[in-house]
Amino acid sequence: MKINIEEKSGFCYGVVRVIEMAEGILDKGEELYCLGQIVHNELEVERLVKKGLKIIEVSELHRIKNSKILFRAHGEPPSSYEIAERNGLTIIDGTCPIVNRIQKSILSGKTEKNSLIVVFGKKNHPEVQGLLGQIPEKTQVISSKEEVSMLPESQIIHLYSQTTMDKGAFNEIAEMINKKQNNEGGKLILHNTICGHVSHRRPGLQKFAAENDLIIFVGGKYSSNGKILFQTCLEQNPNSFYIGSPDEIEAFWLAGADSVGIAGATSTPHWQINDTKLWIEKLLGAK
Ligand code: SF4
């Protein structure tokens, strides 16, 4: 059997950047807290925790004093910066520059009259929380087409998207809002904020999924981009499986396949892709 690895699998630029920041500090033996899971990949988080990274939740930020706190690539609302500064914490800001630009763009609409900021995304996703937190009083999140009906009419709507959402769904939502705002006082201003590191992977992934008999997709349980990219594989190849770690692979999945393709999310490290390949080789050798 041939085992192929999808060439673009592995960390995106924003995740590489924040992990390098964390390791740079941990390797010097310094104390480092991280607000939330540094990346939506359980095994990578485990690896960094073993190196000394201390993961805390927002509710615990109040009790940390005079230490270093890492803000992950998803970004944080202004309230997290305020608490950290009040507590004398040194902020290591790992906010992805792409997310940072979106936050600034949202904030620039603060004083605009008769406007509403709408973010298409998952309500509890940390990136969305960071975006909503820029101007909470005039920002609303929608997660589906059905929720467009909840938006007011005759308003200027600035539409943004969580960076890892599906482009097709975002375009449909934009079209629906555009129709709804096609009246006096209404207008849609579209901000295309889907990250190219996710959306540009789709064509290559579609081809890869179609070329292999079986697809093993490696991603974290809570990885949004992982779920979207896996869906891309599944649409092309129904023989696709999502795993969090190699030991979840069932030997019978491999039966009858001449080729297996391994792919991963933008939050999946290369070492995990390689471990998956080794695991499959071991399973095949054991047959
Ligand atoms: S997916 Fe895009 S926006 Fe998100 S961290 Fe990676 S590079 Fe940044």
* Average pLDDT value for residue range 97-111: 95
Catalytic residue set? 127
Is residue 152's pLDDT more than 80? yes
Q: Would the CB of 261 count as within 6 Å of ligand 1? A: no
44 and 63 both lie in a single domain? yes
State how far the Cα of 216 lies from the Cα of 261, in Å rounded to an integer: 6
Beta strands 90-93 and 68-71 are parallel
Number of domains the chain contains: 3
Query: Residue 68's pLDDT is what?
Result: 97
79, 96, 113 - which closes a domain: 96
CA-closest residue to ligand 1 atom 5: 14
Using alpha carbons, select from 175, 188, 182, 166 the residue that is nearest to residue 120: 166
State how far the Cα of 275 lies from the Cα of 5, in Å rounded to an integer: 12
Query: Residue 139's pLDDT is what?
Result: 95
Is residue 15's pLDDT more than 80? yes
Lowest mean pLDDT among 19-28, 43-52, 178-187: 178-187
Which tens digits make up the pLDDT trace of 154-200? 899 999 999 999 899 999 999 999 998 887 788 999 999 999 988 89
Is residue 242's pLDDT more than 70? yes
Query: Residue 286's pLDDT is what?
Result: 63
CA-closest residue to ligand 1 atom 2: 195
Largest CA distance in the chain: 70
Q: Would the CB of 98 count as within 6 Å of ligand 1? A: yes
Looking up residue 43, the CATH number of its domain turns out to be 3.40.50.11270
> Position of tokens 């890492």?
70
Query: Residue 192's pLDDT is what?
Result: 95
* Prediction pTM value: 0.91
Looking up residue 276, the CATH number of its domain turns out to be 3.40.1010.20
73 and 149 both lie in a single domain? no
Here the tokens at position 56 are 């805390």
Mean pLDDT for the chain overall: 94
Which tens digits make up the pLDDT trace of 250-282? 999 999 999 999 999 999 999 999 999 999 999
192 and 204 both lie in a single domain? no
Q: Would the CB of 197 count as within 6 Å of ligand 1? A: yes
Q: Which helix (H) or strand (E) holds 190?
A: strand 187-190
Is residue 287's pLDDT more than 60? no
| Atom of ligand 1 lying closest to residue 97 CA | 8
Q: Which residues pair with 187 in a beta bridge?
A: 156
- Report H helices in the chain: 13-26, 42-50, 78-86, 97-107, 126-132, 167-180, 196-199, 201-211, 224-236, 270-285
Please choose from 8, 9, 76, 96 the residue to mutate so as to test ligand 1's pocket, defined by most ligand atoms within 8 A of CB.
96
Domain with 110 in it: 99-196
Is residue 86 within 8 Å of residue 65, measured between CB atoms? no
Q: Would the CB of 73 count as within 6 Å of ligand 1? A: yes
Q: Which helix (H) or strand (E) holds 90?
A: strand 90-93
Which of the four pLDDT bands, split at 50, 70 and 90, describes residue 66? confident
